[in-house]
Amino acid sequence: MIISTTNIASTATITATPDSTTQDISVIADGDFSSVYTDAIPFSTDINFAFPVPVNIGYIAIAGSNVATKDSIDIEFDSVPYSTIALASSESNVLMIAVDQIAITELTITINGTGTLSISEIAMGDYYEVTRGEQGGYRKAWTVPNIAARSATNLQNTPININYESRALSITLSEPNNIMSDFGAWYKMINFAARNTFYISEDSDPTHSYAGFNAVPAITAAHAQKGRKLGVSGITFNAFAKSNEGLF
């Protein structure tokens, strides 16, 4: 499991080819889902990030989007092909990919497929890795849509007037054996999460990812057996992974 700790997308000059005639592609780097970039894809769309100085990129997240329904994504660093990711899935509105590149000045994401393209955010930067894996009881936010039904019933107790609304999933991540000598890495993660939209990927499948927000880190407690060497840490937050409401 990896969790984003920085987002450097806004430091780049961002261009799209072909570009939308009605929107500025830079809205995908505003730090949240307040803006949605939309365009019609003829065959493919290139989104290019040009950085003024060399940067390290550990992850790329594409969020609040319908990109997972397209055919594939091609990723290039400094004009050198890195990876092609097959998609054609309607399961996720958030994709997070670990890339672990250093000292690059240009990133190009090519989205292959036709139809309407919608993206709220593309983020990239460093990440924190939960070194001992997931903890018992942790809930996988990517397994359910962020929707809930609300309805009335008639005299036969059958549903009528069904409406669907968005809901925020509540997630708690614990690190019960946090190594205190390396606490700085955990602190960097929770400090970023408390101030920004952040991203989590549970495994190598990009669709097993989600966005986190409204994070509240817990005060680290002393470990019952090894209070000086280990700590019991945690963070609670809301999560967004997918929606069946056609938001994106």
pLDDT at 102 over 60: yes
pLDDT at 142: 84
How far apart CA 97 and CA 240 sit, in angstroms, is 17
- One DSSP character per residue, 69-114 reads GSSEEEEEETTEEEEEEE----S-SEEEEEEEEEEEEEEEEEEE--
pLDDT at 238: 93
* Distances, alpha carbon 235 to alpha carbons 132, 183, 212, 238, in Å: 16, 14, 11, 10
pLDDT at 193: 96
In the chain, ranges of CATH 2.60.120.260 domains: 2-129
Q: Which residue has the higher pLDDT, 28 or 149?
A: 28
Report helix, strand or coil for 126. Answer: coil
pLDDT at 159: 74
Question: Averaging pLDDT over each range in 35-44, 101-110, 131-140, which range is the top one?
Answer: 101-110
- CATH for the 2-129 domain, from 1.10.10.10, 2.60.120.260, 3.30.420.40, 1.10.3720.10: 2.60.120.260
